[in-house]
Amino acid sequence: MSEVAGRMSIQVGAHYLEKEPGGTGVLLSGVPGLLAGRVCVGGAAGGAAARLAMGIEAIVTVLDRSLPRLDELDCRYRAQLNTVYSTVDAVERHVADADLVIGSVLVSGAAAPKVVAEEMIKSMRPGSVVVDTAIDQGGCFETSRPTSHDDPFYTKHAVVHYCVTNMPGAVAQTSTFALNNATMPYTLKLAGLGWKKAFLSDPGFLEGLNVHERKATYEAIAEAVGMDYTPREEVL
């Protein structure tokens, strides 16, 4: 689903930059003779967002703390995108300069860290847009609060915030099939073996066990909600 959200974030961002919903009226792709909009993508799930932003010919910068990941992106896309090692200073400069900022989940399962502080949001041009695809895990902008498809955005410090908690719901047809593809093998196994055998026979399954008989078996969740952590192998 983070794949769907990542791709959607660019079309959502492009839409909210239009005048009607309150954006600056910048066309993300630019036109010949005029600089394209600047898109700043952060977080481990940002690959697809970055690729689509390049695809519409925006000026794309990926911020990340993993040098191997930045190297991989750099090898693959060459002059089409900029890679920047993510320090507080770098985030500050690139967010302030961006037309659109896409934030994604950094640590799966854990509450997302607030990478973009409120002060950084204030430094953005009025009518700029931020899309928080990590909102399901608390959001990665300090100014994010969950919204819904009925009322998808709000404006804070003159910056349009799109923080819908279930982004893939907007493209339900694609999301449903994508989810099916990802879960079908597990469903078949579950149906054939029963849950316990299925969990014990397949480490991929076992990794999905977060809580069992009041015991937190996923370390990141245990930490986030203040429970003791019990290894999965012990509870089954």
85 vs 194, beta carbon nearer a second copy: 85
Instruction: For residue 192, state whether it binds a second copy (rule: CB under 8 A).
Output: no
Instruction: For residue 47, state whether it binds a second copy (rule: CB under 8 A).
Output: yes
151 vs 213, beta carbon nearer a second copy: 151
User: Buried (b) or exposed (e) across 185-210, using 16+ Cβ within 10 A?
Assistant: eeeebbeeeeeeebbeebeebeeeee
Per DSSP, the three-state class of 82 is strand
Whether the CB-CB separation of 100 and 133 falls below 8 Å is answered with no
Give me the least distance between CB of 52 and a second copy, in Å please: 5
Instruction: For residue 34, state whether it binds a second copy (rule: CB under 8 A).
Output: yes
Give me the least distance between CB of 102 and a second copy, in Å please: 14
Would you list the DSSP string of 117-183? Answer: -HHHHHTSPTT-EEEETTGGGT-SBTT---BBTTB-EEEETTEEEE-BTTGGGGGHHHHHHHHHHHH
Q: How far apart are CA 75 and CA 78, in angstroms?
A: 6
Give me the least distance between CB of 124 and a second copy, in Å please: 15
Whether the CB-CB separation of 6 and 175 falls below 8 Å is answered with no
Instruction: For residue 25, state whether it binds a second copy (rule: CB under 8 A).
Output: yes
Per DSSP, the three-state class of 85 is strand
Over its C-alpha atoms, the chain yields an Rg (Å, rounded) of 20
Taking CB under 8 A as the rule, which mask of x and - marks residues 150-189 in contact with a second copy? --x----------------xxxxxxx-xx--xx-xx----
Contacts of 46 by beta carbon, 8 Å cutoff, 6+ apart: 6, 62, 64, 102, 104
Per DSSP, the three-state class of 35 is coil
82 vs 144, beta carbon nearer a second copy: 82
39 vs 112, beta carbon nearer a second copy: 39
Instruction: For residue 223, state whether it binds a second copy (rule: CB under 8 A).
Output: no
- Stated as kind and residue range, the H or E segment containing 51 is helix 47-55
Q: In the set 122, 145, 149, 197, which binds a second copy (CB under 8 A)?
A: 149
Which of these ranges, 52-60, 206-214, 215-223, 225-233, lies near a second copy under the rule CB under 8 A?
A: 52-60
Q: In the set 40, 41, 45, 59, which binds a second copy (CB under 8 A)?
A: 59
Q: In the set 44, 54, 110, 200, which binds a second copy (CB under 8 A)?
A: 54
Name the token pair of 101. Answer: 């900022």
| Residues at the interface with a second copy (CB under 8 A) | 3-4, 7-8, 10-12, 14-15, 17-20, 24-36, 47-48, 51-52, 54-60, 64-65, 67, 70-71, 73-76, 78-85, 87, 149, 152, 169-175, 177-178, 181-182, 184-185
